[in-house]
C-alpha cells in the first residue's frame, strides 16, 4: 500500500501551517470525528466525541442566551430613547391647549401608541366648551372613577402604572376608537395635595404591546415628568 498522502502537498502544508482553520470550522470537525468513529468500528464508544457533542449543545444554548440578552438590551435602549424623545416633545408647548393636542399627536406617534387620553376627575359638569374642544384627548369623570377603573371595582390601591390586555377598550376612555384597543398602559397621576387624581391612558391595537409581565420603570419615569408638567399648567 502506498504511503503517499491522499491530498496534494500544497493543501497539506497549508493545514500543517494553520491547523486552527480546521479546529474553528465546526462542519470540518464533525466530518473528521465521524470518520474517526467509522475507523474505530461499532464496538468502541468514543467518549471524546460524546463530550464534544454535549459541549456543542451547551455552546449553542449559551449563544442563544447571548443573542436574547443583546436583543433585550437593544429593546430597552430603544424604549429609553422613545420615552426621552416623547418627554422632550411634551415639554415644548408654551400653552395648555397645544400641550394636550401634542399628547394625542406627536407624543403618541413617538411612543407608537394608537390613542392617548387624559382623564381628569372633577365635581363640575364636563359640558364645558374647553373640554368639548379638546374632547379627542381630554375627558372629565366623576370623583372615584379612576380608582374604580384601574382596580376593576376590586378592593386595593391601584398601582402607579397598570399594564393590561383587553378584549375591547372602554368607550368612556377611548370613545369611538375603543373597539380597536386591545392593550393599554394606564398611568395614575398625582397632582398634589388638595387636588383630585388624573390618569393618562395609552391604548394600542396590538394586544402584545402592553402586558402585566412587562417592566414599568420607563413609564413610571414618564409619569413623574408628566405629573410635574401638569402641576405647572394647573397652578
Task: Please enumerate in sequence order all residues whose Cβ is within 8 A of that of 122, keeping only pairs 6 or more positions apart, or say none.
Answer: 140, 141, 142, 143, 196
Question: What is the overall mean pLDDT for the chain?
Answer: 82
Q: What is the pLDDT of residues 189-202, one digit of tens each?
A: 998 888 889 999 99
Helix (H, G, I), strand (E, B) or coil at 230: helix
Report whether 146 contacts 121 (CB < 8 A).
Answer: yes
Q: Which residue ranges make up each domain of the chain?
A: 93-234
Using 50, 70 and 90 to split pLDDT, how confident is the model at 21?
A: confident
Q: Is the pLDDT of residue 160 over 80?
A: yes
Using 50, 70 and 90 to split pLDDT, how confident is the model at 59?
A: confident
* pTM of the entire predicted model: 0.66
State how far the Cα of 202 lies from the Cα of 186, in Å rounded to an integer.
6
**What is the secondary structure of 2-19 as a DSSP string?**
----SS-HHHHHHHHH-T
* Distances 195 to 120, 151, 161 between C-alpha atoms, Å: 10, 20, 19
CATH number, domain 93-234, options 3.30.450.40, 3.90.1150.10, 3.20.20.70, 3.30.70.3270: 3.30.450.40
3-state DSSP helix/strand/coil % of the chain, to nearest 5: 55, 15, 35
State how far the Cα of 15 lies from the Cα of 171, in Å rounded to an integer.
72
- The angle that helices 217-234 and 47-90 make with each other, rounded to 10 degrees, is 0
Cell numbers 384627548 correspond to 137
Residue 12 CA, chain-centre distance (Å), reads 53
What average pLDDT does this structure show over 120-125? 78
State how far the Cα of 125 lies from the Cα of 142, in Å rounded to an integer.
9
Amino acid at each position: 500500500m502506498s504511503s503517499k498522502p491522499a491530498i496534494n502537498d500544497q493543501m497539506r502544508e497549508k493545514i500543517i501551517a494553520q491547523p486552527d482553520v480546521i479546529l474553528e470550522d465546526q462542519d470540518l470537525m464533525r466530518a473528521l470525528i465521524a470518520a474517526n468513529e467509522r475507523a474505530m468500528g461499532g464496538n468502541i464508544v468514543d467518549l471524546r466525541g460524546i463530550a464534544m457533542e454535549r459541549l456543542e449543545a451547551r455552546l449553542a444554548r449559551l449563544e442563544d442566551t447571548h443573542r436574547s440578552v443583546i436583543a433585550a438590551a437593544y429593546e430597552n435602549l430603544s424604549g429609553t430613547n422613545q420615552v426621552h424623545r416623547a418627554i422632550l416633545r411634551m415639554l415644548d408647548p408654551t400653552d395648555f391647549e397645544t400641550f394636550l393636542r401634542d399628547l394625542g399627536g406627536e407624543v403618541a406617534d413617538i411612543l407608537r401608541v394608537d390613542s392617548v387620553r387624559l382623564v381628569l376627575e372633577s365635581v363640575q359638569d364636563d359640558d364645558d366648551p374647553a373640554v368639548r374642544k379638546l374632547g379627542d384627548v381630554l375627558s372629565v369623570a366623576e370623583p372615584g372613577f379612576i380608582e374604580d377603573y384601574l382596580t376593576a371595582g376590586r378592593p386595593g390601591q391601584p398601582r402607579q402604572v397598570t399594564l393590561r390586555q383587553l378584549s375591547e377598550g372602554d368607550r368612556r376612555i377611548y370613545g369611538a376608537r375603543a373597539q380597536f384597543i386591545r392593550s393599554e398602559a394606564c398611568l395614575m397621576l398625582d397632582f398634589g395635595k388638595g387636588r383630585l387624581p388624573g390618569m393618562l391612558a395609552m391604548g394600542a391595537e396590538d394586544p402584545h404591546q402592553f402586558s402585566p409581565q412587562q417592566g414599568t420603570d420607563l413609564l413610571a419615569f414618564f409619569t413623574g415628568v408628566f405629573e410635574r408638567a401638569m402641576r405647572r399648567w394647573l397652578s
